[in-house]
């Protein structure tokens, strides 16, 4: 009996588990545009982007990828590529403008988006918060104010009442480290503050908001899977024999990873980190019952991975001192790997770090299903005369990181899905439109969409459920 080519290819491929989810991700402020349409009011990112020098090129959240008006075209592209899921975020200032009463027009947009996804056979994965805090709440203290966590729960209630019956999976927060540390300590993300005590308070209140929102999800969406998405980075000492380097790695791992993993999966902050952050008020903002609320059971954990860190406790050749977002770590130095290739963002390509991050969670915490909810790279797009977009660097990036994900599965990690970042070229925060992460090229002048070669490569992987 002859063997069919497709069967032979599958038998020689690195196959992923049955039911593995293949998707792509976006965030509301990065793709929607239409920042003043249908009652939407300012988020902290609208205000921050208008500050001179805050964003490369003076770019703002309009037009972004005009997803608010072109979502139907985008869903059709996802369907043609064979994606099984779309991870998107909802815009708080579109749904509850100025954190006030629910806005019917804003809710109607997400009704249309979710229904269009379901009609296309694509599972909607909704994230409640991807950094677009209503500016009205920032003016009352933002995430540094405890009340914001309760306003977040009110917003979650509005969303779940409307969409709780149709969304396939919920995420409360995306990368609370960035929202807290880059926004309130580093000053390079919205709202642009440089107050380490405010950043530490923001981190705790974001987690409190997560726990409160989990309760809302359980009440309105029953058994629908729900979790939280964290950006995790494996951290290694430059010299494992150096006590100073080992301690530097401990502190960076504490602030980047364990500050969020431990409260969610272990029910409290790690003792060493409590001591590190006590001078910045961590013990002052944690109230009785908070850790129980934050530790509400989750159904899955999202892992966003882009690179790893090597750190030293004293300067070494080529190292850079920690910037302000690393609270109380001014003596820590980040050491580059000169042999690693770089993306257009200047980030080292380190696929082995993805395996290490997944294994860290698998090894150190209670069993929980994992999803890679973001992983991707910015590269310059080479557009040929016939309009073909050749992005071989991105294909190589994808291939190496999916191999790394497969290695984690072989090592026992319960990994159930992968979402490429990003579906579309978009507004890349402080980099504006200067960096392109998308599988789909967006011409911002015309809003024309063109799938890149990486999109077709990824489509084949999803169809095969493996790497050939």
- CA-to-CA distance for 427 and 430, rounded, in angstroms? 8
pLDDT at 181: 98
- CA-to-CA distance for 218 and 202, rounded, in angstroms? 24
Structure tokens at 434: 């200067």
Q: Which residues pair with 169 in a beta bridge?
A: 125
pLDDT at 236: 98
- Structural domain count of the chain: 1
Considering 32, 138, 374, 428, which one is annotated as catalytic? Answer: 374
Peptide bond into 191 cis (omega under 30): yes
Known catalytic membership, residue 325: no
- pLDDT tens string 389-427: 999 999 999 999 999 999 999 999 999 999 999 999 999
pLDDT at 9: 39
Regions of the chain with pLDDT less than 50: 1-10
Which residue do the tokens 């359980």 mark?
Answer: 218
pLDDT at 11: 53
pTM beyond cutoff 0.95? yes
Considering 138, 175, 325, 348, which one is annotated as catalytic? Answer: 175
CATH number at residue 23: 3.20.20.80
The whole domain housing 427 covers 5-467
Known catalytic membership, residue 374: yes
């Amino acid at each position: 009996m002859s063997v069919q080519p497709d069967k032979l290819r599958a038998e020689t491929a690195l196959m992923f588990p049955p039911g593995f989810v293949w998707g792509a991700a976006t965030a509301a402020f990065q793709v929607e545009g239409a920042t003043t349409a249908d009652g939407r009011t300012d988020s902290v990112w609208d205000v921050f982007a208008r500050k001179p020098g805050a964003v490369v090129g003076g770019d703002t959240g309009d037009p972004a990828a005009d997803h608010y008006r072109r979502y139907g075209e985008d869903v059709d592209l996802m369907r043609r590529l064979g994606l099984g899921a779309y991870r998107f975020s909802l815009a708080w200032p579109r749904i509850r403008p100025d954190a006030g009463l629910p806005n019917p027009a804003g809710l109607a947009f997400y009704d249309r988006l979710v229904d269009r996804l379901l009609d296309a056979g694509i599972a909607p994965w909704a994230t409640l918060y991807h950094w677009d805090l209503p500016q009205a709440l920032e003016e009352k203290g933002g995430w540094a104010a405890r009340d914001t966590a309760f306003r977040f729960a009110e917003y979650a209630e509005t969303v779940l009442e409307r969409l709780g019956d149709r969304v396939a999976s919920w995420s409360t927060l995306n990368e609370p480290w960035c929202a807290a540390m880059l926004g309130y300590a580093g000053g390079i993300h919205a709202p642009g503050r440089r107050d380490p005590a405010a950043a530490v308070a923001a981190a705790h209140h974001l987690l409190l908001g997560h726990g409160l929102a989990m309760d809302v999800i359980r009440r309105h969406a029953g058994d629908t899977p729900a979790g939280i998405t964290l950006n995790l980075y494996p951290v290694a000492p430059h010299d494992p024999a150096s006590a100073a380097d080992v301690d530097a790695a401990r502190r960076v791992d504490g602030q980047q990873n364990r500050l969020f993993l431990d409260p969610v999966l272990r029910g409290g902050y790690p003792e060493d980190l409590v001591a590190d952050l006590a001078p910045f008020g961590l013990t002052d903002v944690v109230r009785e019952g908070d850790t129980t609320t934050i530790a509400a059971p989750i159904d899955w954990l999202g892992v966003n991975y882009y690179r790893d860190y090597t750190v030293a406790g004293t300067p070494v050749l080529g190292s850079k001192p920690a910037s302000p977002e690393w609270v109380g770590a001014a003596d820590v130095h980040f050491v580059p790997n000169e042999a690693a290739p770089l993306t257009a963002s200047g980030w080292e390509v380190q696929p082995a770090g993805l395996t290490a991050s997944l294994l860290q969670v698998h090894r150190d915490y209670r069993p929980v299903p994992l999803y890679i909810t973001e992983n991707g790279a910015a590269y310059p797009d080479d557009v040929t005369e016939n309009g073909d977009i050749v992005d071989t660097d991105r294909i190589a990036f994808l291939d190496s990181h999916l191999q790394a994900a497969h290695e984690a599965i072989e090592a026992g990690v319960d990994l159930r899905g992968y979402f490429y970042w990003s579906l579309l070229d978009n507004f890349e925060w402080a980099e504006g439109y200067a960096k392109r992460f998308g599988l789909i090229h967006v011409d911002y002048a015309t809003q024309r969409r063109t799938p890149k070669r990486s999109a077709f490569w990824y489509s084949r992987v999803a169809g095969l459920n493996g790497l050939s």
